[in-house]
Structures are given as structure tokens and as C-alpha cells.
Amino acid sequence: MLVGGLAYSIFGLAAVHGGRLKLSAPSDLWDLAGSSSALVHGHFSYIYVHNGALTSPPAFEFALAPVILLGQLLGLSRPVHQTGEPIGLWFLLGPAAILIGSSALFAIDAVARHWHFSERDRLLLALCGGLAVANVVVGWGHPEDCVALSLLLWAALALEREGTSAAPKAAWILGAAIAFQPLAVLGVAPILARLSWRAAAKLSWRLAIPSLLVLVPPLIGETHLTLEVLVRQPFQLKYISFTPLTHWAPSLGPGVVGGGPTRLVATVVGAAICVVVCRRRHDLATVLAMTAVAIFLRLLLETELNWYYFWPVAALCLLLARRGSWTRFGICAASSVFSMVLGNHRVHDIDLWWPALMATTVVMLLTVFLPSQRWHLMRRPSPWAAPGPAIECGGMKLPMGSGSPGE
């Protein structure tokens, strides 16, 4: 993944469009690196900037700070928020971002090992997950979304393994996930739903502390702009794809709109559904499935879209679909790839694009939620299935196949 991602960033444009070699690195990642550079140099008022890529707490910028410092020592750094893409710095920044983003693969593998997946299944998940992570990091420049998902998975796994005694640790992990990407708040309700209301309330401060800590420098440097960015969530229309609700987003200036009230509605509705379901069933599979549903509801009511928003749903559904059967996994993987192809284009004409993208996501969710009987006619014997015990019928012994894992 590391070699492939760097090769694409250097040779991708020349291979597709021809001509001279030209660095193709995501502008959002350069923008986040600029915010990290401002943090390193003590220019706290420049951590958040107008129309910048950073609209969440700057936990990733803290994590990236050692890389920026090393680049400065090697003479590869650039002035704070200066435009341009120095290729020397990319050979340091690119691998660091990919390695940080790959933390999601380790969390997915931890869940797979907990469910006793075979080495073949884990390798297949790693390959599919690696493709998605590379797209999120190298294509879109947002490794913080991968980190948030990995922390969310670790929190859910901690409660599954250790029970409610691990709730304080899980709350700290969830708080760290929110500090990287506030979308992780959609995982709080399903993961902590097994706790009593009083116990959950006692842990709530742990969810906020990591974000508050990393927000101290920008709040000191530029309080007004920091709060404006965090609350209004501004984005430029030319850099996003439209949805049916884009016209609902509040206008913040020429070509700039805010996140809109639909995000709050989706978060509240998703949390309510997750609490209802996960207070009755709080096994790991149900928790992860309902987290995927909550994120999907958020996507459904979004006022702007980019594909990396869909990445958590794709990752969770792939993991859960493989737990079910090869048929489910194959359909889910195909839908994920199709979703990636659709979502990697910025589209303002949504007549066909938005329904098709949402349909691929619905298919992914169906591979998780449809009862086993629905897949019976589509099942094929697994090539790795071992023969099952023979049964006697009319004086003849008939071997019975055991099927693939989870079937």
C-alpha cells in the first residue's frame, strides 16, 4: 500500500493523461500539514484558516507534528500555509500519512482475529481495506478519518472482551476518536448502550477531554475563527459533490456554505435508533452494524459529499459481510468498489449520481442485515469447504458439505 500509494502520486497523472511526471498529492493533506506546521511553530492563529481543509479538532495535526519537525530538520519544510507541493517533503509526508491511516487495518484485523477468521480471510480483508485506505489517504488526503474508525473499533472491542469494566477505557478511546474526526460521535451510542444511563453519564466527560485539550492552542491564538469553523463547518461548493439537500445549507459567503442543520438531525436520529437496538443486543456484530446504519443516516441527510465520508460504512460492512458468507462478502466488495468509482468524482448534477451512490451503500448494508434465508438461492459451495459428516439414507451414506464460515 505504501509503495503503491507513492507510485500513484508520482506517476499517476502521467500514466492517465500522458506528458511529464507531475506530483499528484491531495490538496487537503497539504492544507492539514500547513495547520500542523503552524502548530509546531507556535503560530496558533493560523491553525484554522478561512476556507481551509481543517474543520475538526486538530488531533491529527498534533500527531503529524513530529513529521513536520523532522522535515524542518532535513530542510524540507515550507512556510506556514504556503501554496505548492514540494516533492521532497512529500516523500516524508506521504509515507507518514499512509502509515497513520493504516491504523484502521490493524483494528479491522483485531476484530477479525476476535471472530476467529482464517488467515486467508484476514488477508483478503487487509487487501480490500488497504485499497480503501489508500483511496482515503492518497486520493483525498484524510488519514484522520481512518484513525477515528480504528479507535472506534478498538473501543467496541475492549467492551466486547472485558465487559463493562472496560467502559472507562472505551470512553477515553472514543474521546480520542472524536478528537480526530467528530463523525466518530455516531459510534458512542451503540458502543456505550450496554451501560446504564447513570454509568454512561459519569463517563461523558471522558468523551470531551481529548478534543478540548487539542483545541487549547487554536482557541488561544484565534478564538473567534476557531469557534466559527467548528460550529458552522464551512465548505466551498466547487470542492464537493452536491446532494438533494445542498440548497438547505446556510450560505456563509460567495461560493461557501455551512454544514447545515440536517447533520444534527441525522446524528440525533441515528443515536436514538442505536440506543433502542443496542440496549437489547450489544454483541460486537450488532454494535458495528448499527454504527454503520448511523453513519449511513448521516450520509443520507448530508448537504455535501465526498467519497471518504462513505469509507467507514464500506469498511464495517466488508468486515461484517465476511462474517456471514462468501456471497455476502463478494457483493459487498463489488458495491464498495462501485461506490469508490462513483464517489471519486465531484458531481454537481446529481440526477443519476446521488441515487446510484446511495444505492451502492444500501446494497452494502443489505449484505449485513438480510436474513440468511434470503441468500440461500445465491449460495455456492465454498472451494475450501471441508466435507461434513455423512448421513445414512436408504442404506447409502451421503456426505454433507460444511459450507463456508458463517453459513
User: Among candidates 13, 31, 30, 35, which has minimal Cα distance to 22?
Assistant: 13
CB 361 within 8 A of CB 292: no
pLDDT of residue 11: 60
User: Angle between the 167-180 and 197-221 helix axes, to the nearest 10 degrees?
Assistant: 30
204-251, pLDDT tens digit by residue? 999 999 999 999 999 999 999 999 999 999 988 888 889 999 888 888
pLDDT of residue 80: 52
Q: Are 340 and 132 in contact (CB under 8 A)?
A: yes
Each residue of 5-61: pLDDT tens digit?
666 666 655 455 555 666 678 889 999 999 999 999 999 999 999 888 899 999 999
Separation of alpha carbons 154 and 216, rounded Å: 26
Contacts from 265-272 at CB under 8 Å and sequence distance 24+?
Answer: 265/301, 266/297, 266/298, 266/300, 266/301, 266/302, 267/185, 267/186, 267/294, 267/298, 269/297, 270/186, 270/189, 270/294, 270/295, 270/297, 270/298, 271/186, 271/188, 271/189, 272/189
User: pLDDT tens across 298-349, in order?
Assistant: 999 999 999 999 999 999 999 999 998 899 999 999 999 999 999 888 777 7
Confidence band, pLDDT 50/70/90 cuts, at residue 395 = very low
Please give the Cα distance from 203 to 167 (Å, whole number).
8
pTM: 0.87
Task: Return the pLDDT at 12.
Answer: 58
**What percent of the chain is predicted at pLDDT more than 90?**
64
Query: What residue segments make up the domains of the chain, in order of their start?
Result: 2-375
CA distances from 16 to 9, 19, 81, 159 (A): 12, 9, 29, 46
**Tens-digit pLDDT profile for residues 120-150:** 999 999 999 999 999 999 999 999 999 999 9
Distance (Å, whole) CA 308 – CA 90: 21
pLDDT tens per residue across span 149-203: 999 999 999 999 999 999 999 999 999 999 999 999 999 999 999 999 999 999 9
- If you average pLDDT over every residue of the chain, what do you get? 86
What is the structure's pLDDT at 21?
Answer: 63
The larger pLDDT score, comparing residue 378 to residue 315, is at 315
**Cell, residue 386:** 471441508
